Amino acid sequence: KAGVTQTPRYLIKTRGQQVTLSCSPISGHRSVSWYQQTPGQGLQFLFEYFSETQRNKGNFPGRFSGRQFSNSRSEMNVSTLELGDSALYLCASSLGGTGLGGYTFGSGTRLTVV
Amino acid sequence: DQQVKQNSPSLSVQEGRISILNCDYTNSMFDYFLWYKKYPAEGPTFLISISSIKDKNEDGRFTVFLNKSAKHLSLHIVPSQPGDSAVYFCASSYAGGTSYGKLTFGQGTILTVHP
């Protein structure tokens, strides 16, 4: 059974640019959540999508957005990149987005903003 | 506002001994608690979880204890092995629409198991 796949693994962007990250969930999983991990703030929840609808959102500015497609694959977009956006971006998939132990994480995309 | 706290940034243990990782939370709404293990350059891997209706859950070498009155949980690893060396995160969530897909994580504890 394939795991959660995130692409690309590494990315270097310049301040002011925008970036799109991709996440393919485990087959059958309809919920995809996104997290940002930084040394200072730890793992912070960005948003969650289920059946192409955003059901939950964390405390991030509007520059951070996402979407989910009918095959449950999800993308997140960050516009007008800032140096502080440098982080490891993780996505996690689950069947329904609630419950114990149901979240499987991908290996992440390491974004560096210069 | 850190709702989930892991106060020990690191823990060093001898192989074969017990590792105890601790986690405190402040949000009384949390009713699911999970532990994840993370290696560098990889995503977190689920280890074990517990519901607030229980006070203990075991899975092989891993046991999680929950003390609701103290808002405290701990992960026991017995016996510890060098392959257990990683960063351990506790995470919490609760049932309800505002928590869909959301886990609240602690800052992590780096566990080092020495041969």
What is the tens place of the pLDDT at every residue in A16-71?
999 999 999 999 999 999 999 998 888 999 999 999 999 999 999 999 999 999 99
Which tokens belong to B83?
A: 């392959």
Contacts of B113 (CB under 8 A, 6+ apart): B13, B14, B15, B19, B80, B81, B82, B83, B84, B85
Report the distance separating Cα B12 and Cα B29, nearest Å: 32
Q: What is the pLDDT along chain B (115 residues), one digit of tens a residue?
A: 689 999 999 999 999 999 999 999 999 989 899 999 999 888 999 999 999 999 999 999 999 999 999 999 999 999 999 999 999 999 999 877 677 889 999 999 999 999 9
- C-alpha–C-alpha distance, residues A35 and A59, integer Å: 11
B38 contacts A37 by C-beta, under 8 angstroms: no
**pLDDT of res. A4:** 97
Please report the number of interchain residue pairs, chain A to chain B, with beta-carbon separation below 8 angstroms: 79
Let me know: does A111 contact A87? Beta carbons within 8 Å.
yes
- The whole-number pLDDT of residue A41 equals 87
A interface test, pick of B27, B37, B102 with most A CB neighbours within 10 Å? B102
- Asked if A31 has any chain B CB less than 8 Å from its own CB, the reply is yes
Evaluate whether B48 touches B57 at the Cβ level (below 8 Å): yes
Q: Is A82 helix (H, G, I), strand (E, B) or coil?
A: coil
Residue A100 reports pLDDT greater than 80: no
The distance of B41 to chain A (nearest Cα, Å) reads 7
Closest among A27, A41, A37 to A104, alpha carbons compared: A27
State how far residue B83 is from chain A, nearest Cα, in angstroms.
19
Residue A67 CA to residue A112 CA, distance in Å, equals 22
